[in-house]
Amino acid sequence: MKQVLALYLRCVKDVNQYVPGRIPSIVLYALVRAITPYVTIWFSAQIINELAAQRRPEVLWEWVIWSVAVGAVLGLAGVVMNRWKEATDSLHNARKNRMFMKKFLSMDYADVDDQRTRDLYAQIAQNENWMGWGINVAIENLENFVNGLIGVFGAIALTLSLFTSRVPATAGEWMMLNSPLFILALVGVMGMVTWFSLSRNHVLNHEIAVMAEGATLGNRKYTYLFTFSSDAKRRLDIRTYGQERLMESFTSDTFFEPGGAYDRLTKSAIGILAYAAEAGSAVFTGVVYVFACLKAWAGAFGVGSVTQYVGAVTTLSQNISLLLGTFDQMRNNAKFLQDTYDLLDIPNSMYQGSLTTEKRSDRQYEVEFRNVSFKYPGAENWSLKNVSMKFRVGERLAIVGENGSGKTTFIKLLCRLYDPQEGEILLNGIDIRKYNYRDYMAIFSVVFQDFQLLSQPLGANVAGSSHYDRERVRRALVDAGFGQRLDDMGLDTFLYRDFAEEGVEVSGGEAQKIAIARALYKDAPFIILDEPTAALDPIAEAEIYSKFNDIAGDKTAIYISHRLSSCKFCDEIVVFQDGSIVQQGTHEELLRDEKGQYYRLWNAQAQYYQTKD
């Protein structure tokens, strides 16, 4: 329980941090809601007592005015608190998702890329879809806890006089109702009813929590079905091949469908007993009714107090159930909350240096890979093996090799998305780990193979910000070959239609030009094109690469491609094979070695282009 409480305390703190006011609004609303019924019960009892006894109009007036006034104040406070709570609630999901987004953006890339991290996040999302397990249930628990606690205290306060008001001696043998045994008997019945209801609910809740995995699969199927059938491109295949029925049958076996695991559980003895246990409180109310009526009959208190005691004791048992049930659910939910914190607590284990890359006005940078070997986390094979090479600013460098030979991995290490297990990468003679990461990344612009553009205006996409130098963005787009299209579109047109009806669906080739413009706008000394032309044919790729040669100016341009023809103009070509550098030189030098990999690839590809032509 200590661990559970620690988790909950942390959750409460976090929630109140990402939505300020969320926790006070919940606590205050629960407080007002818990107090209100007791105030009504108490005032009603006073009014009925007066009506049944002395019936003094001035006293009745006083009670009525107080009752209305206090009721109105509480009612108003309840509405205000509820509005406040709803306002914070509407922010809750967006802010919670932002918290996860921040975590993913600040996490070591190796961890983001790790399948286990993705599985954990999918599990957290599914738990939440399933029954709000995790942070949402924790918030609900907090609300119920305050409700239950205030409820219990309020009920005890209003019930005490049921036992302390004594039947007068004139009542004869009814005086036995004053016996403390009745207190014991009532507490005993209440304990039994509460225990039965709780234990049944505990079993039911436990069974539901255990089902989370099955629910995950079911939810995954629904999500898949939804995204698949709402995605225009995929819908085309479904229509063409008449797959509607196959799609419909897809979720028929899921957990939630009639006859599924959840359905069976609710109809099983566990489900039925849990619902039947709820009726137990009615029995208890009946017992209290009899006892309070007898005491009133014997003259211990007025009839109005009977309604007070019955109302208070019934809510007492309900609130004890609520409180204990909340503890039970907290225990069940702790596992799901733990999943959330397992993700949020993934540490940043990459060493973060503090050196600044000297902002050299001559932009003279030299990068060296020294005996670098690397394998992806969890992978068995080395993706790079003993790679050594040097390059300096101003050069045109090409990295070529067949698919899977390690070219992209080389760039990922250069950008420090991963650290190598062996060897080191140096910038101006200093290990890149010693530099401040942001500072280090400022000297690279990369157009990755699977670059992503945002559903945001064109200009903001290029600049990576909504405030930017329009002229520079325009120039970058023109340099990247997007000039003509830019004249039609303008910088403020949204890309894609996610957020704007008039958004433009750019083609693959156009998207690549925008991605290149983004890299140019960053104006970093090193600019890297990692086969950013996958959507283009080899001739268009060669054109972009050679044109880029002019655009790059005094920057270092690193071209990566498995198409050798795109890179033959480079000062230096590095040939990768199975994670190692097997050749290095100019196009002419490399072709001279007829036994070399470059010669083999060149001829294979030349033949391919010729037959294609």
- Which CB, 47 or 567, lies closer to ligand ADP? 567
> Distance (Å, rounded) from C-alpha 34 to C-alpha 26?
12
- Which CB, 110 or 355, lies closer to ligand ADP? 110
Query: Could you write out the DSSP letters of every residue in 41-98?
Result: HHHHHHHHHHHHTT--HHHHHHHHHHHHHHHHHHHHHHHHHHHHHHHHHHHHHHHHHH
- Which CB, 377 or 483, lies closer to ligand ADP? 377
| Residue 113 engages ligand ADP in binding (rule: CB under 6 A) | yes
> Distance (Å, rounded) from C-alpha 23 to C-alpha 30?
11
Q: Using CB under 6 A, which of the segments 53-61, 221-229, 300-308, 401-409 binds ligand ADP?
A: 401-409
Say how far residue 382 (Cα) sits from the centre of its chain: 33
> Distance (Å, rounded) from C-alpha 191 to C-alpha 290?
18
- Which CB, 201 or 383, lies closer to ligand ADP? 383
- The candidate with the shortest Cα–Cα distance to 10, out of 416, 337, 303, is 337
| Residue 583 engages ligand ADP in binding (rule: CB under 6 A) | no
Whole-angstrom distance between the N-terminal and C-terminal Cα of the chain?
73
> Distance (Å, rounded) from C-alpha 99 to C-alpha 111?
17
> Distance (Å, rounded) from C-alpha 493 to C-alpha 155?
62
- The candidate with the shortest Cα–Cα distance to 148, out of 198, 187, 85, 185, is 198
- The candidate with the shortest Cα–Cα distance to 413, out of 552, 213, 576, 179, is 576
Using CB under 6 A, which of 409, 461, 566, 577 touches ligand ADP? Answer: 409
- Please state the closest distance from residue 376 (CB atom) to ligand ADP, in A: 3
- At residue 391, φ and ψ (nearest 5 deg) are -150, 150
| Residue 401 engages ligand ADP in binding (rule: CB under 6 A) | yes
- Which CB, 321 or 405, lies closer to ligand ADP? 405
Token reading at 296 = 């009133």
| Residue 33 engages ligand ADP in binding (rule: CB under 6 A) | no
| Residue 376 engages ligand ADP in binding (rule: CB under 6 A) | yes
Spatial contact of 461 and 495, defined as CB atoms under 8 Å apart: yes
Using CB under 6 A, which of 383, 556, 561, 566 touches ligand ADP? Answer: 383
Q: Using CB under 6 A, which of the segments 9-17, 33-41, 358-366, 406-414 binds ligand ADP?
A: 406-414
- Residue 210's region, left for phi above 0, alpha for psi from -120 to 50, else beta, is alpha
- Please state the closest distance from residue 263 (CB atom) to ligand ADP, in A: 41
Cα separation values, 368 from 191, 251, 299, Å: 75, 54, 98
Q: Quick one: 518 exposed, middle or buried, by C-beta within 10 A (0-12, 13-18, 19+)?
A: buried
Using CB under 6 A, which of 405, 577, 583, 597 touches ligand ADP? Answer: 405
| Residue 219 engages ligand ADP in binding (rule: CB under 6 A) | no
- Please state the closest distance from residue 406 (CB atom) to ligand ADP, in A: 4
Q: Using CB under 6 A, which of the segments 211-219, 396-404, 472-480, 602-610 binds ligand ADP?
A: 396-404
3-state secondary structure of 592: helix
| Residue 420 engages ligand ADP in binding (rule: CB under 6 A) | no
Cα separation values, 253 from 220, 256, 433, Å: 13, 8, 51
| Residue 408 engages ligand ADP in binding (rule: CB under 6 A) | yes
Q: Using CB under 6 A, which of the segments 102-110, 309-317, 352-360, 375-383 binds ligand ADP?
A: 375-383
- Please state the closest distance from residue 562 (CB atom) to ligand ADP, in A: 7
- Which CB, 114 or 263, lies closer to ligand ADP? 114
Amino acid letter for position 269: A
- Which CB, 150 or 557, lies closer to ligand ADP? 557
Rg (CA), the chain: 36
- Which CB, 205 or 405, lies closer to ligand ADP? 405
Token reading at 449 = 């193979």
| Residue 563 engages ligand ADP in binding (rule: CB under 6 A) | no
- Please state the closest distance from residue 348 (CB atom) to ligand ADP, in A: 19
| Residue 379 engages ligand ADP in binding (rule: CB under 6 A) | yes
Q: Using CB under 6 A, which of the segments 84-92, 346-354, 403-411, 472-480 binds ligand ADP?
A: 403-411
Using CB under 6 A, which of 22, 407, 416, 555 touches ligand ADP? Answer: 407
Q: Using CB under 6 A, which of the segments 153-161, 171-179, 301-309, 400-408 binds ligand ADP?
A: 400-408
- At residue 247, φ and ψ (nearest 5 deg) are -65, -45
| Residue 406 engages ligand ADP in binding (rule: CB under 6 A) | yes
Using CB under 6 A, which of 71, 404, 503, 509 touches ligand ADP? Answer: 404
| Residue 451 engages ligand ADP in binding (rule: CB under 6 A) | no
> Distance (Å, rounded) from C-alpha 475 to C-alpha 462?
11
3-state secondary structure of 501: coil
- Please state the closest distance from residue 111 (CB atom) to ligand ADP, in A: 12
| Residue 403 engages ligand ADP in binding (rule: CB under 6 A) | yes
Number of residues located near ligand ADP, criterion CB under 6 A: 12
- Which CB, 240 or 403, lies closer to ligand ADP? 403
Binding site for ligand ADP (CB under 6 A): 113, 376, 379, 383, 401, 403-409
